[in-house]
Structure 1
Amino acid sequence: MAMSLLEIIQLVGYSAGAALHLWIGKLLLTKRRRTVERILLCLTVAIGLWHASNLFLTLYGSLGLARWYASLRMAETIAVVTITLAYSLLLHIHLHLWANARQRPLTRFERVRVYLSYIPLLFLTIAIPPIWTEPYAPMLERLSHLVLPFALWAAYVLALVAVTDLLIARNVAEANEKSLMRTLAISFIFVAILMLAAYAFNLGGGTIWAGYLRIAANLGSLLPTSLLAYHIYRYRYLELIIERSLFVAVFAIIVLIGYLYGVRLFGDWLTSRYGLREGVIEPLLIIALVLTAVPLHYRLRRWVHELFVRETEIYRNLLGEAGTQRWSWERLPQFLDLAARKMEEALRLERVQFIIPRVSDHELERDWEERLLQRIEAQEMIENDSLLAEHGWTLARALRWESELLGVMLVKASEFTSDVYAALEVVARQIAIVVRDCRLVEENLKLERELAEGERLAALGQMAATIAHEIKNPLSAIKSIVQVMREDERLQVDYKRDLDMIIGETDRLSRSLAQLLGFARKPSAEERSRSDALVQNLIALFRAEAQRRGVNLELRADAACELDAQRTIALRDSLSNLISNALQATPAGMSVRVELFIEDETLCCRVSDEGHGVPAHLRERIWEPFFTTRQRGTGLGLAIVRKRMEEIGGAARYLAERERGACFELRLPLRDRTSARSL
């Protein structure tokens, strides 16, 4: 006796339900990091076991086996337990999804609702004993008095989670998650209607349609689960990946349905209608199915490609490129160009470009890009905007990692479908991950360089301190002896010029030794000071030397702020070196200017001269210890400046925009903005 259509639907439906749910459960088994994932794992396993137990009951009845009552009772017990547990888990997971959408943990009331959602499990104490104690009968006959309450409970749960999904869709920002929640809500409402029609109102009772309606209600869980599987495959929802082989299996099930019922039913109809010979029509139809399988497979593959694969191939290729090569910050533009070309080809876009600010946070080359970054900080996407249209773009999408804005993706296209919007969202997330990884690599390399430079400077400082201490005592002895010799009148007459030269050179060497010791030592604690008073005192100290060299020393102090001991020492050492260098580099009759002001909540001090300036090819090397362009210099002045400023969280830089002379700037972020003021 041939299987009926109802039996085929049961067989295929329960098989697909068991396979799909248990397969998703297998994927979730490798995750289990978050509470939502763990609850979803329990839910998919419960529904999968429910489908598997119904599949066993269907096969048992279709094969006409002897009554193995123990196996039947066990399958029915599993079916009752898992379907009861499934609706409680459905409520449980939606409470967590709602809390996650609001970006907060469960409230106390929601935690109470979690426990209340499992109260229906108590009714298992009423439902399970009759399965094992009473004479065997189909499950729905023995538990007929519980069918209506359960149908009402199931419809209530489905309606409640549907409303929850709609509310979640209003709170989430991502387009694909918003679409998922809305379609899930519609599917839950549809399944609730089927449950009420089949089990509460018993529509079609006494007819064959009642059986189809109940099977549709039983297989209703396939609808939301299929939607979930679709989003997992296409958008990597919950960071899961479903292989294409699963969809190949679905295609095989479709062919199986066509063979088991379609071909046989059509063959029987031809035989009865036209009196054709039995046993001949079915092989002919199978041959026709085989002949049409190739073009059918080609068309189906194109359809699946459009539905599932086209957009996912983009980020799969991008992930492959990102994974097979180690992209650095310098090579990031190459990767972004590759990503833009792939997106243009796959999504049929006119043009794609990425704007990624540099790690050093320097100003963007074009002012409109900076304005665009500021505007997109508070939103995910900008479309049909005057700023974009002015520069030839249609859409801008933020590249974010968690809450940090890493850049912007610009797209030009004549129109956007919902699939393209979803693909752009997924690709933007993948690009943001690559940019973040490149930044982490760059920051790690920068930190390693700073550590290596710090170790080198520490070694140089130790060496400088050792040398300075070894030379200082003999130098002091030489100077003392020469000073005693100058008191001798006979020597003073014959060797005055030589003795003065020795004392002058010993003084110069003492200053060099002081610089060496200054480079090696750490700042000591001193009294606090005000920035304007500190600069005025330094100007007073250097005034005599400026007059001796014939250089005008000018001061403009337009700001005052309190400096702690460490900052006082660092700023005084740095300014002393800069003013000393400026006086040595400035010809007589020219000027050295010192300026103190506040800019962007930063204390700034500039020292500018009217000398020859610094050649462009030496501007990076001037900060290196022991690098000097003067014949008798130590090369430690600017190294001390940068070292001292970095120790207090500041910075020293050379300003190259001047036409004549050199200009150095010290920048120190203000800690207490209330005490800082402009004068």
Structure 2
Amino acid sequence: MTLLEALQLIGYSLGAMLPLWMGYLLFKQRLGVVTIQKLLLGLGICMVGWHAGNLVITLRSLLGMEAARWDLLLRSANTIAVISITVCYSLLLHVHIHLWASSQSRELTRIERIRIYLSYIPCLFLVLVVPRIWTGSYHPMIAKLSDFVLPFALWIIYSLAVVSITELLVAQRASSISEKRILRTLAFSFIAIAVLILASLGLGLGQGTIAGQYLQTFANLGSLLPSALLAYYIYRYRYLELIIKESLIVATFAAVVLAVYVYGIRRIGDWANARYGLRAGVVEAILILALTLLAAPLRGWLERKFRALFERETALYRDVVAGISAQAGQYRQLPELLAAIETQTANALSLGRVRIFVRSDEEANAATQIGDSDLLNILEAAETDHIRVIDDEALRRLDYNIAYVLSREDRNSGLLLIEAPPNALTPDVRAVLEVLAGQIAIAIEDCRLVEENVRLERKVAEGERLAALGQMAATVAHEVKNPLSAIKSIAQVMSEDEQLKAQHARDLNLIVGETDRLSKSVTQLLSFASRQPPAAMPCRSDELITNVIDLFRAEAAERQIDLRSSLEARIELDGVQTGAVRAALSNLVLNALQATPVGGRVIVSCVTQDHSIVFAVSDTGPGISPAVQAKIWEPFFTTRQRGTGLGLAIVRKRMEEAGGAARIVSQNGGGARFELRLAVSEARR
């Protein structure tokens, strides 16, 4: 057996068995239900036909079979080979038209459908080619169909050129680096095969020589590349990877053993017999025994190589999970961590979109993004049904294919939402995403614990700072309050003297007014420094607002401002809550009256939301800029020339002491709205 014959035997055998085995697996698992999968299955069948036909012809030559005796078999093999290779390149174009449309996530256009029909025009020539194979005496396929060789070679070159360009264009749109590399490799491989076919069949280089026979054999074996394309799709979409991997190991191992036997054992036996007169059979037996001993290590080496080739994506999955676990401590804020996980997961697993929806107290009360309320409902339904993977119509209406519940120790913190083509969500990818969901849940809880610790540390530090400020304020207030009282008393006594009043009335009135203003500032300082929240008699929320408005109605009328109320809730408040809300509303209404221009409006309202009551003070003033909003709650921060900067600090402090919260809702130039929120029990509603 010559090297050329061995190359043909091994190449055509692999070319026939590999696509046959893959096609069998596809058919057995009923994967050929999508258009592109059916086309790939057909492509594999054509490859089996082409290589099987060439294998039969090669075996006839190797076994020395007479052409006349095996005429029917040889003509049948030529017919199957010609039909298979003709349909093969039409199917190859068909597959790549679908591949291009799929890369853009769209259906086929009308022009693309016309191109598909046109790609099958060469099949019409089979009507002329097949009868010629069966007429006259038997001759090899190339000799029998010599008139059609050049046109068909040009058709193959055109097809491979189109396929290569399509592969390169799809590679540019691919998001995965490994996918880009594979597509580009296939494209250049198709170009190389086109050059071989042009040199062998188109230009007839080396015709009639040994080099020409090798060139033609390589050109024929070049059609193994569609089998490589089929293997790529099976690998890319993770269909039956382990079975295919084992089949490749077995096939490659068999090819290596056959090559070693033919060109190693046989040649060494013949050489030993000719040179030293040793019996060739004994030498071959000894070498076969040695090959048997080396078979296990050789198969292990091949298995490791194929594992490195076909399991690199599995290693990538492990890297993704490990990377996310390691990154959890690198981000200070939870949104930063979630954004990094979303980006890395989408890129690493070639997914269209990844979003992590985290449930928080605010999101439970009111959805902050469009569709968040629907996601919250989906999460609650999953909790009720005790499911971890969600794949239903409600999720698809939100443009997601699948979702995984982020759960840790029976606590569900959110959803891992995935949008991707169905083929991308293979069993391996789903398994990795399920593991990833658990890691993300752990990372979220850890990040929240870190944030909570930081918040508590800041709160303790802020408390210590405020305590120091309060102590200082109390000291200053006590030192100033008594002298102020004395000054005011002296000024009032002097004003009772008619002679002094006539001469210094304006000055005395100024002294009394300024001492009153300073006394109010001192009162604010003492209120801020007080560690005991002021208590009052229990009161209903509507009565409390009415009392506060009555207190400021005269000042509002003096400023020509419309002061009104909107009472939608009547909740009984306890003494601490009443005292805190009265002090907070008084500060807020006073600030609103001072900020609202003549003819403006100030509205004090109260409503119930879920299990809370919300008091609000809204005005039509200039509003508060975003830059100032971040500082207005700080003690001693003020935008007025004669203000203490304690009003809003006291508001927040009193509300927190009562178990509530204060916040601002403002648009610059559109007025300001301050809200006071208190939790209330069902019994008091």
Q: Report the TM-score range of the alignment, normalised by the length of the smaller protein.
A: 0.5 to 0.7
Residues 290 and 14 (structure 1), Cα distance of their counterparts in 2 relative to 1, 3 Å cut? same
Contact 2:273–2:280 (Cα < 8 Å) also in 1: yes
Partner amino acid, structure 2, of 1:221: S
Contact 2:149–2:201 (Cα < 8 Å) also in 1: yes
- For 2:102, the equivalent position in structure 1 comes to 100
Matches within 5 A, 1:373-392: none
- For 2:658, the equivalent position in structure 1 comes to 661
Contact 1:170–1:178 (Cα < 8 Å) also in 2: yes
1:593 CA drift (Å): 3.1
Q: Distance in 2 between matches of 1:439 and 1:588?
A: 41
- For 1:247, the equivalent position in structure 2 comes to 248
- For 1:388, the equivalent position in structure 2 comes to none
1:90 CA drift (Å): 0.9
- Is there any run of 5+ residues in structure 2 with no aligned partner, and where? 358-425, 442-539, 557-565, 590-602, 614-651, 674-685
1:22 CA drift (Å): 2.0
Partner amino acid, structure 2, of 1:581: L
Residues 290 and 134 (structure 1), Cα distance of their counterparts in 2 relative to 1, 3 Å cut? same
- Which of 182, 190, 203 is 2:205 aligned to? 203
Report whether the alignment pairs 1:353 with 2:326: yes
1:400 CA drift (Å): 7.3
Residues 44 and 398 (structure 1), Cα distance of their counterparts in 2 relative to 1, 3 Å cut? closer
- Which of 350, 367, 370 is 2:335 aligned to? 370
- Which of 583, 586, 603 is 1:591 aligned to? 583
- Is there any run of 5+ residues in structure 1 with no aligned partner, and where? 319-335, 344-350, 357-363, 382-395, 408-424, 441-537, 556-570, 597-604, 609-636, 643-654
1:206 CA drift (Å): 1.8
Helix, strand or coil for the counterpart of 1:21? helix
- For 1:404, the equivalent position in structure 2 comes to 354
1:285 CA drift (Å): 2.0
Q: Distance in 1 between matches of 2:671 and 2:17?
A: 72
Partner amino acid, structure 2, of 1:266: I
Residues 293 and 435 (structure 1), Cα distance of their counterparts in 2 relative to 1, 3 Å cut? closer
Q: Distance in 2 between matches of 1:287 and 1:301?
A: 22
Query: TM-score normalized by structure 1?
Result: 0.55
Deviations 1:546-576 (A, max 9, x none): 799x999x99xxxxxxxxxxxxxxx975xx1
Q: Distance in 2 between matches of 1:657 and 1:354?
A: 40
Q: Distance in 1 between matches of 2:664 and 2:79?
A: 76
Q: Distance in 1 between matches of 2:296 and 2:23?
A: 34
- For 2:629, the equivalent position in structure 1 comes to none
Report whether the alignment pairs 1:4 with 2:2: yes
Q: Distance in 2 between matches of 1:33 and 1:439?
A: 35
Residues 353 and 572 (structure 1), Cα distance of their counterparts in 2 relative to 1, 3 Å cut? farther
Of stretches 584-593 and 277-286 in structure 1, the one that deviates more from structure 2 is 584-593
- For 2:18, the equivalent position in structure 1 comes to 20
Q: Distance in 1 between matches of 2:338 and 2:294?
A: 55
Contact 1:551–1:586 (Cα < 8 Å) also in 2: no
- Which of 126, 134, 146 is 2:148 aligned to? 146
Contact 1:53–1:76 (Cα < 8 Å) also in 2: yes
Q: Distance in 2 between matches of 1:52 and 1:606?
A: 89
Helix, strand or coil for the counterpart of 1:404? strand
Contact 2:544–2:578 (Cα < 8 Å) also in 1: no
Residues 266 and 228 (structure 1), Cα distance of their counterparts in 2 relative to 1, 3 Å cut? farther
Deviations 1:194-235 (A, max 9, x none): 1112212222222222222222111112245346536745x5
Question: Which of the pair has more CA radius of gyration?
Answer: 2
Q: Distance in 1 between matches of 2:254 and 2:351?
A: 40
Contact 2:47–2:85 (Cα < 8 Å) also in 1: yes
- For 1:63, the equivalent position in structure 2 comes to 63
Deviations 1:616-671 (A, max 9, x none): xxxxxxxxxxxxxxxxxxxxx876669xxxxxxxxxxxx99954113268999x9x
1:279 CA drift (Å): 2.5
Partner amino acid, structure 2, of 1:370: P
Of stretches 209-218 and 3-12 in structure 1, the one that deviates more from structure 2 is 3-12
Deviations 1:261-318 (A, max 9, x none): 3211222123223443333322222233234444444544444444444x35547889
Contact 1:6–1:212 (Cα < 8 Å) also in 2: yes
Q: Distance in 1 between matches of 2:286 and 2:581?
A: 110
1:544 CA drift (Å): 4.5
Partner amino acid, structure 1, of 2:352: E
- For 1:281, the equivalent position in structure 2 comes to 283
Contact 1:586–1:592 (Cα < 8 Å) also in 2: no
- For 1:600, the equivalent position in structure 2 comes to none
Residues 663 and 188 (structure 1), Cα distance of their counterparts in 2 relative to 1, 3 Å cut? same
Q: Distance in 2 between matches of 1:572 and 1:90?
A: 74
- For 1:50, the equivalent position in structure 2 comes to 50
Matches within 5 A, 1:172-211: 172-211=174-213
Instruction: Give the CA RMSD over aligned residues.
Output: 4.9
Residues 370 and 112 (structure 1), Cα distance of their counterparts in 2 relative to 1, 3 Å cut? same
Q: Distance in 2 between matches of 1:437 and 1:77?
A: 57
Of stretches 164-173 and 200-209 in structure 1, the one that deviates more from structure 2 is 200-209
1:428 CA drift (Å): 8.3
Contact 1:36–1:93 (Cα < 8 Å) also in 2: yes
1:49 CA drift (Å): 2.0
Residues 103 and 256 (structure 1), Cα distance of their counterparts in 2 relative to 1, 3 Å cut? same
Partner amino acid, structure 2, of 1:283: A
Partner amino acid, structure 2, of 1:193: V
Q: Distance in 2 between matches of 1:639 and 1:540?
A: 18
Residues 108 and 306 (structure 1), Cα distance of their counterparts in 2 relative to 1, 3 Å cut? closer
Residues 71 and 224 (structure 1), Cα distance of their counterparts in 2 relative to 1, 3 Å cut? closer
Report how many residues are paired: 442
Q: Distance in 2 between matches of 1:589 and 1:206?
A: 104
Contact 1:546–1:583 (Cα < 8 Å) also in 2: no
Residues 52 and 582 (structure 1), Cα distance of their counterparts in 2 relative to 1, 3 Å cut? farther
Query: TM-score normalized by structure 2?
Result: 0.54
Of stretches 25-34 and 584-593 in structure 1, the one that deviates more from structure 2 is 584-593
- For 1:91, the equivalent position in structure 2 comes to 93
Q: Distance in 1 between matches of 2:294 and 2:654?
A: 76
Of stretches 179-188 and 61-70 in structure 1, the one that deviates more from structure 2 is 61-70
Contact 2:43–2:226 (Cα < 8 Å) also in 1: no
Q: Distance in 2 between matches of 1:4 and 1:132?
A: 30
Q: Distance in 2 between matches of 1:606 and 1:303?
A: 76
- For 1:581, the equivalent position in structure 2 comes to 573
Partner amino acid, structure 1, of 2:332: R
1:125 CA drift (Å): 1.2
Deviations 1:59-104 (A, max 9, x none): 3443344624333332222211111011011111111212222333
Q: Distance in 2 between matches of 1:375 and 1:298?
A: 39
Contact 1:399–1:406 (Cα < 8 Å) also in 2: no
Deviations 1:100-142 (A, max 9, x none): 2233332322222111111111111110111223333222221
1:541 CA drift (Å): 6.6
Q: Distance in 1 between matches of 2:64 and 2:305?
A: 40
Deviations 1:508-547 (A, max 9, x none): xxxxxxxxxxxxxxxxxxxxxxxxxxxxxx9877545779
Q: Distance in 1 between matches of 2:75 and 2:654?
A: 89
Helix, strand or coil for the counterpart of 1:405? strand
Deviations 1:16-63 (A, max 9, x none): 111211222234433234332222221122112221222233334433
Of stretches 156-165 and 30-39 in structure 1, the one that deviates more from structure 2 is 30-39
Contact 2:200–2:212 (Cα < 8 Å) also in 1: yes
- For 2:121, the equivalent position in structure 1 comes to 119
Contact 2:581–2:655 (Cα < 8 Å) also in 1: no
Contact 2:544–2:582 (Cα < 8 Å) also in 1: no
Helix, strand or coil for the counterpart of 1:134? coil
Residues 213 and 7 (structure 1), Cα distance of their counterparts in 2 relative to 1, 3 Å cut? same
Q: Distance in 2 between matches of 1:584 and 1:278?
A: 108
Contact 1:39–1:89 (Cα < 8 Å) also in 2: yes
Matches within 5 A, 1:259-658: 259-309=261-311, 311=312, 314=315, 339-340=321-322, 353=326, 366-367=332-333, 370-371=335-336, 401-406=351-356, 431-432=432-433, 434-435=435-436, 543-544=545-546, 576-577=569-570, 580-581=572-573, 585-587=577-579, 590-591=582-583, 593=585
Q: Distance in 1 between matches of 2:581 and 2:77?
A: 104
